[in-house]
A and B are shown apart, each in its own frame.
Chain A
Amino acid sequence: MTVQLNSASLDVRALRQDFPLLQRTMRGKPLVYLDSAATSQKPRAVLDALERYYERSNANVHRGVYELAEEATAAYEAARQTLASFIGATPEETIFVRNATEAINLVAYAWGRHNVHQGDVVVLTELEHHSNLVPWQILAQEVGADLAFIGLHPDGTLDLENLDRQLQTGRVRLVASTYISNVLGTITPVAEIVRRAHAGGAIVLIDGAQAVPHIPVDVRALDVDFLAFTGHKMLGPMGIGVLYGRQQILEEMPPFLGGGEMIRRVSARTSTWNELPWKFEAGTPNVGDAVALARAVEYLQSVGMEAIGDHDRQLARCAMDRLQAIDGVRVHGPEERGAVVAFTLDGVHPHDLASVLDEQGIAVRAGHHCAQPLHERLGVPATTRASFYLYNDEGDVEKLIAGIDVARRVLQA
């Protein structure tokens, strides 16, 4: 018998007990946290791991000969192994960075400046967060390359027609796409993008900031060349993220930042570079947060990424259905989506809606969600966004719907 995992398989009430912050009240009401696409809350296990590292194991990593430094180094490299396994990569291919933005900038600077030349093309999508747009704008301006964009169907899914057209020119060096849109929730066809890009001689970077926390992601199965993601959206602390890079590409790349740790040998005028992955980790790394992020991954694995993905999808579906039943509400984006629902309400500005919801202890985000070009494409200056995670349930959706009802009474003409 096949067991179909569904949201009933996540014991949300029990999971929620693991998150200290979710126990607090907001403006005298139980907090309803619907902004996990911006940052997730952290389970006790992650907070404990962070504290335990600094209480018991803190020392600077690598090259320390004393036991404590070895312990810290072992904890850091074990964390790397955990993250690598989580995405199907090797530790050599798993570089710790501050966040997804830094991961993408690392590629734009270290790979981009040696591989993208005048007249070359970087293909992006119209869905991109500023973090996967601005670094390529800077690169394109610097080297005289062009940017091209994969457009959207009316429902917010990608129209790959322009990808094919661009690839036919033979000038495309890189395709950089989000995996799950932080506004529309669109799940992009990554494997298909990679297949077409590779056939056209381009490599592929995937912004996995909204995907890696929510669905199983395997870099080998997807065959991507780079994957960027951040820890704080997946139950980990702020300030730690990962860049996955295909080993051969990383080996051919020059370093990003220079300094300690990333070198093999330094003389007065020249230096040689360390092995992967340390070549790309200049300076003292963020060991404590890496260790805590590994604990977050273990927590996610204990719940099950398949189960989390199903849960998120069902909750997004439920929220869409309930929102679309409200007169004057328009939900942006496709039916099949990740845990993100952005919408507009006739006659009510998104910031007002978010403020009225805030008065009821409901945390949602209003604005352009760092995706201004996408909002121009949608024809709205801003949207209100509710996003979900493993600690949300249909009760939270009900509270959101009730909150919107209050906003309509307060603000609609």
Chain B
Amino acid sequence: MSSLYTEIIQDAYRHPRHRGELAHPTHSYEDENPLCGDMLRVELRVENGHIVDAKFQGRGCAISQAAAELMMEKVENQPVSAVTELTKDVVLEELGLPSISPARLKCALLPLEVLRRAVSGQTDAR
């Protein structure tokens, strides 16, 4: 029915397991895409160099929200260094997309960008 909205994306969008907030995050970052109004907040709890809890909140399209869910799933229970290994190709692979239009690529990459900034200890853009 749709080659863009893969089963993976539909499932991650409809049934996110990492949507929410942490009581005591050690790292957080929030940003928005002014072009489309999408907003994303990532909260992490890091202990001994490992991400033990990862949550996101936000509003936006299915691509960005599904990518957020999949990125949280990918880094949870991983060393912080795992975040630096994430690339555009990894994101697309996780989404199950061989390619994506330039217009939608920014949606797919917003969560990775926010995650990187959270890990690097940047304070919120807002």
Which residues of A come within 8 Å of B, CB atoms?
Answer: 349-352, 355-356, 359, 367-368, 375, 381-382, 406, 409-411, 413
Separation in Å of the A347 CB from the closest CB of chain B?
A: 10
Given B1, B3, B59, B61, which contacts A352 in the complex, CB threshold below 8 Å? B61
Footprint of A on B, CB under 8 Å?
1-5, 10, 13-14, 35-38, 59-63, 104, 107
**Contacts A410-B10, A411-B5, A411-B13 given: A352-B63 contact, CB under 8 Å?**
yes
- Complex interface: chain B residues within 8 A of A381 (CB): 36-38, 59
Shortest beta-carbon distance from B1 to chain A in Å: 6
Q: List 11 A-B contacts (CB under 8 A).
A: A349-B60, A349-B61, A351-B61, A352-B61, A355-B4, A355-B63, A356-B5, A381-B36, A382-B36, A411-B5, A411-B62
Ranked 6 nearest A-B pairs via Cβ: A381-B37, A349-B61, A351-B61, A352-B62, A352-B61, A410-B5
B40 to chain A, nearest CB (A): 13
CA distance A359 to B35 in the complex (A): 22
Using Cβ atoms and an 8 Å threshold, which residues of chain B touch A351? 36, 61, 63, 104, 107
How distant is A328 from chain B, measured CB to nearest CB, in Å?
15
Residues of A contacting B38 with CB < 8 Å?
A: 381
Q: Is the CB of B37 within 8 A of A382?
A: yes
Please give, as numbers and ranges, the residues of chain A lying within 8 Å of B61 by CB-CB distance.
349-352
Interface of A is mostly: helix
Q: Which residue of A lies closest to B10 (CB)?
A: A410
The CB with the most chain A CB atoms within 10 A, among B1, B2, B10, is that of: B2
B4 touches A368 (CB 8 A): no
Instruction: State which of B2, B13, B59 has its C-beta within 8 Å of the C-beta of A356.
Output: B2
Residues of B within 8 A of A359 (CB): 2-4
Given known contacts A351-B36, A368-B37, A411-B13, A406 and B1 CB-to-CB distance under 8 angstroms: yes
Residues of chain A within 8 A (CB-CB) of B14 are: 413
B37 and A411 contacting across the interface, CB-CB below 8 Å: no
In the bound complex, what is the Cα–Cα distance between A69 and B99 (angstroms)? 51
Nearest A residue to B13 via CB reads A411
Q: A349-B62, A355-B5, A411-B10 are in contact. List 9 more A-B contacts (CB 8 A).
A: A349-B60, A351-B63, A351-B104, A352-B63, A359-B2, A359-B4, A382-B36, A382-B37, A411-B13
Q: Which residue of chain B is the closest to A351 with respect to CB atoms?
A: B61
Which single member of B36, B62, B63 contacts A367 (CB below 8 Å)? B36
Q: Compute how far the CA of A368 lies from the CA of B34 in the bound complex, rounded to whole angstroms.
A: 10
Residues of B within 8 A of A350 (CB): 61
Residues of A within 8 A of B60 (CB): 349
A367–B2 contact, CB under 8 A? Answer: no
Known A-B contacts A351-B104, A413-B14; the reply to A406 vs B37 at CB < 8 A is: no
A80 to chain B, nearest CB (A): 38
B-side contacts of A375, CB under 8 Å = 37
Question: How far, in Å, is A192 (CB) from chain B's closest CB?
Answer: 34
Q: Decide: A356 and B36 in contact? CB cutoff 8 A.
A: no
